[in-house]
Structures are given as C-alpha cells and as structure tokens.
Amino acid sequence: MTAATIPLAVGVIGYLLLRRRILPETSLPVLAVLSIDVALPAQVFSQLIGQFDPAVLTDWWQSPLWWGVFTLWTAGLSWAGCLPFRRCRREVMACLFYPNAIFIPIIILTELDGAGSIRLTGLFLFTLFYPAFLFTTAPRILGQAGTPLPWRHIITPVFIATLAGIVIRLLEVHHWIPGWTEASLRVLGSITVPVLLLYLGAVIAVDIHQGGPSPRLGNVIGFVVIKNVLFPLLTLPLLMLRWIPAETAFLMALISAVPPVTALPILAQRAGADQRLINQFLVGSFIASVVTLPATVAAFAWLRPPGL
C-alpha cells in the first residue's frame, strides 16, 4: 500500500508547488527532459552495469520477446475496452494501451526489494523497446497520423543506455568503468521518478488554472474500472501458465495494473487530442491504484507462490 501511495503523494506536492508559484510554469519542460532524457538513462545504465550478469540471467534475451507477447494481449484488451466510449475513443485507447511500465514499477520494486533489486534489471530488459514503441505509435493513435517522427523519439537515450549496458556486460568490460562513474550515475538516476511525478502534478495544476472543464465523472469512472480492475482481473489467470517465467509473469501482472504512462498528456497536446481528459484519466487511475496495485500484487503472490 505504501509503494502505491508514493506516486500520488509526490504528484500532489508538485501540484501545490506550482499553485503556490514556488515552481514556475516555465520550468516544466526542463523537468520533463531531466527525468526522461537524463536521469532515467543514468539509472538504467548504472543498474545494468551493477546487476546484469549474463552468466546468471542466461535467458535475458527472452524478456523483450515476452514484452511483445504482453503488448499484443494489451492491444486486444485496449481495443475492446475503448468500444463503449464513442466521443473520446482515441484518448481511452491510448490510456489503456500505454501503461506506466517503467516508472511506477521502479517504485514498487524498490519498495519491495530495496534500491539494488535484481528485478529492476529484469524490468529494464523487459521494457527495452517500450519507449521507442510508445513515441512511435502513440502519436498515430492520438490523431497525429502522417507526421514525420524525429529519430530522437525512436532511438531514445533510454534505449541507447540499455543497449550500452547490455553490450558492456556481454563483452565483460564493465570492470573498466570507474566505480565513481557508476555511483554518480546511480545517484543521478535516483531522481527520475520524483522529478517526473512533480512534473505531472504541476501539469494538472496548470490545467486547472487555465480553466479546464469539470471532470467527466462517467468517463473517468468507466475508464478506471476497465484499466485498474478489469485489466488485471483478465490478465492474472493467464499468468498461471507455468511456461511463462515467474519473474516475467510478475512484471506482466504489475504492469497490467499500473496507471497510464505520464508522457501521454504531452503527446496528446502535440497531436491535438483532449489533453485535459487524459489528465483526468491519469488522476483517477493514480487514485484507484492505491488500492488496486497492492491487490494485484497480493493476488499474483497467491496464484503463483515463489518457486512455481
């Protein structure tokens, strides 16, 4: 429960900082770049250098393949889930299809296992292609079809950091990297999630300050029921299949229950979609996840105890 409450609490702090003008609105783009393009790559690289051992994780290459399978499953659920929403179908589809597959699981795994969690390495391998996939396909779903996509949105700093970490460990040259370099990157990476959550809370404050519409409670409640309740309920039974590796199944269960990715409001604004409605979906899902995330983790532990 504590780990699931952290994102909501930090987001509220970001909201208050901007409302009280401690955090200027002009700083928001800087916060987004700092968290996504600087701090997160540093965390990924330092984690892989310190924890990824190909001799132990011999089946590491399967993780991105399992992510592909999980994405196909999520695509089917998202398509079915957006059908009841006639006037905001593309916003619902995007919010259902693109989970917060990196940042929220980092918080959960760090809370469960500590900062040196080996499962963080599994998470980064599992989501190797997710950032490139997100920035490549989300603008199309949100209505930006036909717009040329910059290469920097495909070959992202996170993707480069992940590949660099894997190659260095495979070549066994990680011993050449000075210890202070890895430690510095680890400290820099530790600010990733707090900065991004502060950004999200501040963006919501800007939206309210600009006179955004009152929450569309019917749409928000319907979305939350589908995303936070039905998605994990439909996914968990499949994860009982023993041919899905236990750690991979746990990541699938966790990601099935997380809120939408926090980059969606930015992408929606660029594509001309309803950014304010997406903000409402994000807030509703974050609030509900305080209960649904721990419930999903507990249900998975009951369905697949350690060793099965």
Q: What is the pLDDT of residues 25-46, one digit of tens each?
A: 788 888 888 888 899 899 889 8
**Rg of the chain (C-alpha set):** 19
d(CA 128, CA 271): 25
How far, in Å, are 25, 33, 131, 156 from residue 38 at the CA level? Answer: 20, 7, 14, 11
Q: Which residues pair with 99 in a beta bridge?
A: 260
What confidence category does residue 66 fall into, taking pLDDT thresholds of 50, 70 and 90?
A: very high
Whether residue 159 contacts residue 40, with contact meaning beta carbons closer than 8 Å, is answered with no
Residue 1 has pLDDT above 80, yes or no: no
d(CA 202, CA 20): 11
- Position 68 scores a pLDDT of 96
Whether residue 251 contacts residue 105, with contact meaning beta carbons closer than 8 Å, is answered with yes
Task: List pLDDT tens digits, range 69-125.
Answer: 999 999 999 999 999 998 888 999 999 999 999 888 888 888 787 766 788 889 989
* DSSP 8-state class, residue 111: H
Domains along the sequence of the chain with CATH: 2-302 (1.20.1530.20)
d(CA 266, CA 268): 5
- Position 308 scores a pLDDT of 54
Between helices 118-126 and 246-257, what is the axis angle to 10°? Answer: 70
Residue 177 has pLDDT above 80, yes or no: yes
Task: List pLDDT tens digits, range 226-245.
Answer: 999 999 999 999 999 888 99
Residues 6+ away with beta carbon under 8 Å from 130: 67, 101, 102
Q: What are the two backbone dihedrals, phi and then psi, of residue 99, each rounded to the nearest 5 degrees? A: -80, 165
92 residue type, one letter: V
